[in-house]
């Protein structure tokens, strides 16, 4: 199986438990990261000068965080799309960073699809996971990752199923309700005060359209270890994490996906169900 993600930390936030589960079960689990996340904000004050606004060394630092997250999750292979540093984090929609000549969204789609197809041809994944057409929450790099993955899967003889990673509306609501009852959310850690948001502040997906639920069980601990590895971007609290905005996001004991291509048999709880060699 192969996961296509836009920036370091996306793999841990959205699919870390699924990666850890299948890696522990002996599957060949690969992750492709499309950029180094150079435009990310930085939580620890002591690392602030790594940012694009100063030393512009954050991408290299985040590559190290990504390697540590991969060790925690136990994946088999990792690739940067086109090689490390080929594509740069485009930043959020409407920012000037999207005009950088190496910005992921400035790249030719055909070139990026060919780069991903080369990885497919090398690793021959049967199952591929990426974002939906909204990129989960609208980040331009997530949307581009969706676009090139969709195109590459359509041309690949190896891929038998394509899934989108999504956030369950019901699980998010339950998680937020539980967080509102806690008195031990972090305050002042690295300058962050965790704030529990309203339900409509987080992007979610209707549960009736979710096809696949991967229960994390003991692998939830590996997901939290991977989240902690991305310390420039993520602060971890009890049953939750926050980015630099301090918005507490619950971590359910299940990860949710939608099958968009391939046979439906048995996919309720297993991405490989019914696939035979």
Q: Is the residue at 38 inside a domain?
A: yes
For the whole model, what pTM was predicted?
A: 0.97
User: Could you say which residues of the chain have pLDDT below 70?
Assistant: none
> Between helices 109-123 and 140-155, what is the axis angle to 10°?
60
173, part of any domain? no
Q: What is the enclosing helix (H) or strand (E) of 62?
A: helix 58-73
Q: Which residues of 114-140 are buried (b: 16+ CB within 10 A; e: fewer)?
A: ebbbebbeebebbbbbbbbeebbeebb
Tell me which residue has tokens 């370091």. 8
The answer to whether residue 29 sits within a structural domain is: yes
Find how far residue 21's CA is from the centre of its chain.
15
Domain-embedded: residue 106: yes
* Residues across the chain: 277
Q: How many domains does the chain have?
A: 1
Give the domain range for residue 54: 2-167+254-261
96 is a domain residue: yes
Here the CATH number for the domain that contains residue 162 is 3.40.50.10320
| Residue 102, in any domain of the structure | yes
Does residue 188 lie within any of the structural domains?
A: no
pLDDT of residue 48: 96
pLDDT of residue 189: 81
pLDDT of residue 257: 98
Query: Is 213 contained in some domain?
Result: no
């Amino acid at each position: 199986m192969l996961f296509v993600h836009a920036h370091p930390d996306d793999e841990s936030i959205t699919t870390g438990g699924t990666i850890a589960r299948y890696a522990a079960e002996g599957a060949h689990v690969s992750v492709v990261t499309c950029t180094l996340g150079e435009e990310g904000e930085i939580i620890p004050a002591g690392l602030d000068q790594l940012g694009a606004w100063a030393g512009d060394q954050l991408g290299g630092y985040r590559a190290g965080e990504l390697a540590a997250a991969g060790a925690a999750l136990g994946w088999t292979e990792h690739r940067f799309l086109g090689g490390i540093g080929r594509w740069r984090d485009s930043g959020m929609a409407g920012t000037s960073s999207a005009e950088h000549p190496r910005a992921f969204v400035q790249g030719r789609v055909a070139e990026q699809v060919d780069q991903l197809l080369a990885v497919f041809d090398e690793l021959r994944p049967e199952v591929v996971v990426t974002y939906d057409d909204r990129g989960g929450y609208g980040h331009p790099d997530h949307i581009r990752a969706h676009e090139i993955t969709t195109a590459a899967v359509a041309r690949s003889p190896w891929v038998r199923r394509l899934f989108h990673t999504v956030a369950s509306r019901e699980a998010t609501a339950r998680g937020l309700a539980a967080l509102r009852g806690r008195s031990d959310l972090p305050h002042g850690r690295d300058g962050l005060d965790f704030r529990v948001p309203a339900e409509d502040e987080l992007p979610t997906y209707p549960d009736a359209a979710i096809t696949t639920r991967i229960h994390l069980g003991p692998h939830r601990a590996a997901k939290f270890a991977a989240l902690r590895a991305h310390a420039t971007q993520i602060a971890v609290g009890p049953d939750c994490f926050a980015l630099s905005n301090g918005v507490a996001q619950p971590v359910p004991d299940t990860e949710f996906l939608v099958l968009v291509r391939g046979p439906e048999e048995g996919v309720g709880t297993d991405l490989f169900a019914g696939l035979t060699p």
